Amino acid sequence: MVLDGKMGPLARSGVVALIAMSVVAFAGATARADEVEQEEIVVGEEVVQPAAAPCPECDVNNGMVSFAMGVDITTAYYFRGIVQEKYGFIAQPWGEVTFTLWEAEENSNSFVTDFTGTLGTWNSVQSNKTGSPMDGTGPGNWYESDIYGGFGIGMEHGLGLGVNYIAYTSPNNAFGTVQELDADISWDDSTLYGGEMQNLGFGINPYALFAFELDKNSFPLHDEEGIYVEVGAEPSVELMSDSDYPIGIGVPLTVGLSLSDYYAVSGVSDDTFGFFQAGLSTSVGLGFVPPEYGSLSAGLAGYYIAFGNSVQDYNDAAFTTIGGSDWIGTLSLNWEY
């Protein structure tokens, strides 16, 4: 009923109801047009949104910074074949952070896939106060602490290039700081293989490393900076990859060589061959750790190492007759996020 150009209470409430019903009908039609599934909407009832779909990948680190750390417990410590410690308890903790500085867009057809920066540290703590001065200066059991940083380039087909600066330091003053510039090339060739090999994630994973000493040297029998070359590979497979406890098996192979004055003996000669090392390694992912806390794995490895003439002479002099070869066992625990 209209009185004096104004609506009465009943008419006004009817119009309001009509407007409300029109708005609800329009909203429902829009939702159907957008193909958004939701509970049926009834006037006067609460709208209930459907549950979100699961998102397992949301529980892991999808950012541009990643972290890794771990510790190795080993029966002997050889650096590029050169003995550092053979007896007692040896723990070697490490940690690093990697920054993804640039990443190619998906389907960009770019040969370069990413550019990263890394900062890290590697240490050796030993129950024997190896090389610690008799005056007790420095933490006697903290034999070595290395600091490194560098850049890496990822490319199509699993190729990778890297360059790193490393400072090898000794907190217990067993040796002077050695500075080094490293360049390396690696190849994850697992994408080459098909069939069962692909299902196992098989790859040979060859690599080469060139190390240029900038200040001081790592081989104690001479005083000049040298150039070291390392070539190697690690044929590997992964078993039970779909389980919470995937198992990785690898056969790491390494050859260490002197390109210039690395394994030199002052005033005598420079041996090209430094050492050869072959091993068998296994690791298992520890799936009881929730993915939002990263991934945890444990490993066990055994190695056989054989020395060149100059390296053997030094090793025998430093420790009571090691001989031409030795065996090494390592237990490890690693975390990544």
CATH-assigned architecture of domain 60-336: Beta Barrel (2.40)
CB 185 within 8 A of CB 204: no
Please give the distance of CA 185 from its chain centroid, rounded to a whole number. 16
What type of residue sits at position 210?
A: F
What is residue 125's predicted lDDT score, i.e. its pLDDT? 97
What is residue 13's predicted lDDT score, i.e. its pLDDT? 42
Rounded to 5°, the CA angle 330-332-335 comes to 160
Rounded average pLDDT per 10-residue block, the chain, 337 residues: 38 39 41 43 52 56 90 98 96 98 89 97 96 80 97 96 98 96 97 87 97 96 93 96 94 97 86 97 96 95 97 92 94 97
What does the DSSP assignment read for 207-252?
EEEEEEEEES-SSTT--S--EEEEEEE--EEEESTTSSS-EEEE--
What type of residue sits at position 226?
A: G
What is residue 61's predicted lDDT score, i.e. its pLDDT? 72
The dihedral formed by the CA atoms of 192, 198, 201 and 202, expressed in degrees to the nearest 10: -60
Domain boundaries defined on the chain: 1-51, 60-336
Burial class (CB in 10 A: 0-12, 13-18, 19+), 65: exposed
Please give the distance of CA 104 from its chain centroid, rounded to a whole number. 20
The dihedral formed by the CA atoms of 156, 160, 163 and 166, expressed in degrees to the nearest 10: 150
Q: In the structure encoding, which two tokens stand for residue 295, read together?
A: 């991934």
Closest CA to 24 of 46, 2, 5, 3: 46
What is residue 246's predicted lDDT score, i.e. its pLDDT? 96
What is residue 3's predicted lDDT score, i.e. its pLDDT? 34
